[in-house]
Each structure stands twice: as structure tokens, then as C-alpha cells.
Structure 1
Amino acid sequence: MNFYHPRKGRRSLDHMIAEIKEYIQEDPKASYKMVIGTDSQTRERETIYVTAVIVQRIGKGATFYYAKIRHNAMRDLRYRIYRETEYSLKVVELLKEKGFFGFSVNIPMEIHLDVGQQGETRKLIQEVVGWVTSVGYTAKIKPESFAASAVADRFTK
């Protein structure tokens, strides 16, 4: 999986992790939070999924990366929301496999889901929030899920 930084371009997983570690080491006394969220956009022939990985230096800015995956067009909303959740959790697992959380064990993490009380996705809230919390992570929904509904959404266009 390739990641992209908006100014630096394409990054491998290892390169992204190294840059995140550098970002944290620039101000080790600051408080940090990692946020991961995925959004999708279906066009005529394809669905584009974008997963954002954001590291917030609380009160002092953030850095972020994103990964983009293309699929044949998927029209079923439930399937798309499940796939979005799956991609966010997959990125967490990739980071864990590379030992990222061993380095940054004190960084709280949230999974941002592109579901909310308004619209059709409200029917899926309990299912996807339950999935994320059952594997041990904090889930946020709209309007608090900015990683999915703002950052990732921007790169699906």
C-alpha cells in the first residue's frame, strides 16, 4: 500500500512511519493523537476509497498521509461503509505489524467513520461502531469524524 503526503508525494509505509516518528521527535513533550478514517466516492465505473492517517500535535497542528484504492463501482451503501471501516482497520494493523505502536505507545488513536445520525448511514452506526470498539479502538462518527468526512473525502474527488 502506497501512501501520499500532500507536499512530499508518494511514501512507502516504512517511509511514512519514519516521517511520523520524526514529527513526534520534533516536540516530544507535546500531546499527540492518531486519527485514521476512510471515505469513498462511487463514479460510473469505479469506487475510490481514500484512507487518511493523521497525527495531531494537540493545539499545535498536524501532519497527514493518505492511501487511495480503486475498485469496480460499488453501489451498495452498506458494503461501501463496511469496506471503508475495513480499510481503516487494515491501516492500523499495518502500523502495528511494523512496530509503530511499540514506539508510540502513548499516542491515543481514533477510527473515524463516515456515518452519522443524518441520512442513510444512520442505520449502520451501531454495526460499524460496534466492530471498531470490539477490536479495541475508539470510534467517532459525524460530525466528529473529520478524518473520513473532511480529509479523506477531499482526496476522493
Structure 2
Amino acid sequence: MITIRLATFNDVEELQRLIGLSVRGLSTDYYSPNQIESAIKYIFGVDSQLISDGTYYVAEKEGIKVGCGGWSKRNTLFGGDQHKDVEDPLLDPLKDAARMRAFFVHPGYARQGISRQIIKVCENAAKAQGFTSFKLGATLPGVPLYEAMGYKAVERVDTVMPDGALLGIVKMGKE
């Protein structure tokens, strides 16, 4: 059985490991080894603002952290602490879309509905805060999941990382 709870700062080290495992294990059909390592270094990671805001979740199975993900009432669309320099401004739920953020699942637990469960928890929490629409920046391996959950592709963007590697991201939305 999967349990989902709010992440704490005590989870960060383990979540960083989980994120690395997830990206290395589930992105190989979509990104080159160089893109994967660059993305882990410069973009993918825990966003401590989400933990502070109480909007980041951990999925556990038999005491093992098997997934994570969250939502944000702030402007940033994707990226961990290493990807931003300042605190994000707050969004207005009456006119802005909540941001679905930083979903990762352990490769050994992929395709078991874990990300789907976390996304539902996040959408419900954002709705409880007054948000009626959602945006996210999907990695290429995540696009099929988000499409299955009603998200529509808006734009493909290539994010240039500091070492020059490009990371394909698909901006998606859901009303």
C-alpha cells in the first residue's frame, strides 16, 4: 500500500537520491546521458520552498520513499533550489494557474500509479486553496502520464543549462 504525506526537511537528502535514481532510470529513452547528468546538476532537485509552503509530498511503500511531487502557489514552473536565486512571488488563485512541480518516481516502482496518486493529492490541495487550473513543465518521459490525466501540451521549450546542454520540456496545462 502506498501512503502519501507532506515532505519535511528531514526527507531532503533521501529525496535528492530518489530524484537522481528516477531521472537516470526513466529518462534514458528521451535524453542523452549528458543531458540527464546536466539536468540533475542544474535543474532537477528538491525545491525547499515547496516544503516550506507545505505543498510537497512523499509517497512511501513499506517505509521506502518511492515517489515525490508537489504543487505551488508560486510562479516558478520547474527546477529545484539550484535553479533559482530568489523566493518566488505568490500567484493569485482567481487568475493564475497552480504549478504542478517536481514529480519523480523510483524506477523500481514506475508504472504503478504512484505519480498519478500524488498528482491527485496535489490537484485537490490546490483546489482547496482556490485554484481552478494547473500548469506544469513536463519532462519528455512525463508527457504521456500528464496527457492521460487531462493535461494538454501548450509549448515545447528547450531549456539551456549552464554547461550548454539542452533539456526538452513541454509546458502543459489543465483547466
With normalisation by structure 2, the TM-score equals: 0.33
Comparing both chains, which one has the higher relative contact order based on Cα–Cα distances under 8 Å and sequence gaps of 6 or more? 1
